[in-house]
Amino acid sequence: MSLQSVAQQMVAPGKGILAADESSGTIEKKFAKVGLTSTEESRRDYREMLFTSPGIGEYISGVILYDETIRQKADDGRTMVSIIESAGILPGIKVDQGTAAMDVSPEEKVTKGLDGLGDRLKEYAQLGAKFAKWRAVITIGNGLPTDGNILRNAQDLARYAMECQKAGVVPMVEPEVLMDGSHTLDQCVEASRRTLKILFDELTRLGVDITGTILKTNMMVPGKESGKKATPEEVAASTVQVFKDILPEGLPGQAFLSGGQGDVEATENLNAINKMGPFPWKLSFSYGRALQDSALKAWNGKKENVTVAQQVFLKRAKMNSLATLGTYTGEN
């Protein structure tokens, strides 16, 4: 498959991407919230429950996997990759190695993982990965984000994207302007605008093929500690304006991260955005928590809960599928 056909499949109308690429530390915290111990077996059972949900391919176009998961086999001996592919879904892989404080601005983060990336991508492609993901985080605060931090993260994202395309893997570039903080909606818009402008400048400068690239970024929302909630219409108007000003027409699509929004909130905001369409690019979702949290609670590590948990997961997937079309009308 060409990079372009994979990218188009990732943002197919009515579908989105399941982010199931939590690191071992992150999933341990998620499990602890529902009283579960994180072991290789419990992580495998949980993800197998999600991936084997009947009809998952109707709403999900791709799954981002963690290194451990792309190598795992299910209870019946099938690889996780083959289970995903059998549902008509594209397997993807998280390739960044987490964040570290930036030397010249320790309150800001840079992402690790460029060393040896080319070799890792070749192996992941052999294991079945059709796309990859690299997350950079941008912090809003007093005097933040700095131009230096935005530029460094954009350069690293562009280098990663170039390595992906060399390996025949579609890069999903994820600059996340964090919701953490007490910033206003306008401050989020300003930081996001700066970040996306520099990112696309760097992608172009390095010769990355935009038609074989997917963006994964945040919606325009006020900080979680601001005490303010923007309406779906306010989120949509701000987000669409930034995108119209900056996103190139050749970009196949953008899959929103949920970034700490509630399940229903993330769906309502996505729906409000798509109701403002049509756009030159598809606007879809790539949710982790906003697709999984209610299913994890329903499953709770018990085999007898698998069917109910899958139904809960599929309902969230369906609601977000409707939101990609702008036809979500509430939790019915």
Tokens of 283: 């606007």
72 and 98 Cβ atoms separated by less than 8 Å = no
248 and 288 Cβ atoms separated by less than 8 Å = no
**What is the DSSP pairing of strand 170-177 with strand 131-138?**
parallel
202 is catalytic: no
Tokens of 118: 């080319």
What residue has token string 């990759």? 81
134 and 96 Cβ atoms separated by less than 8 Å = yes
Residues with Cβ within 8 Å of residue 137, at least 6 apart in sequence: 99, 109, 111, 153, 176, 178
Residues with Cβ within 8 Å of residue 143, at least 6 apart in sequence: none
149 and 136 Cβ atoms separated by less than 8 Å = no
Residues with Cβ within 8 Å of residue 103, at least 6 apart in sequence: none
CA-closest candidate to residue 90, choices 132, 38, 32: 132
The catalytic position among 174, 176, 202, 268 is: 174
Residues with Cβ within 8 Å of residue 327, at least 6 apart in sequence: 271
How far apart are alpha carbons 240 and 243 in whole angstroms? 5
108 and 141 Cβ atoms separated by less than 8 Å = no
Phi–psi pair at 274, nearest 5 degrees: -70, -20
The catalytic position among 15, 94, 216, 282 is: 216
59 and 131 Cβ atoms separated by less than 8 Å = no
244 is catalytic: no
How far apart are alpha carbons 22 and 20 in whole angstroms? 6
Q: Which residues are catalytic?
A: 174, 216
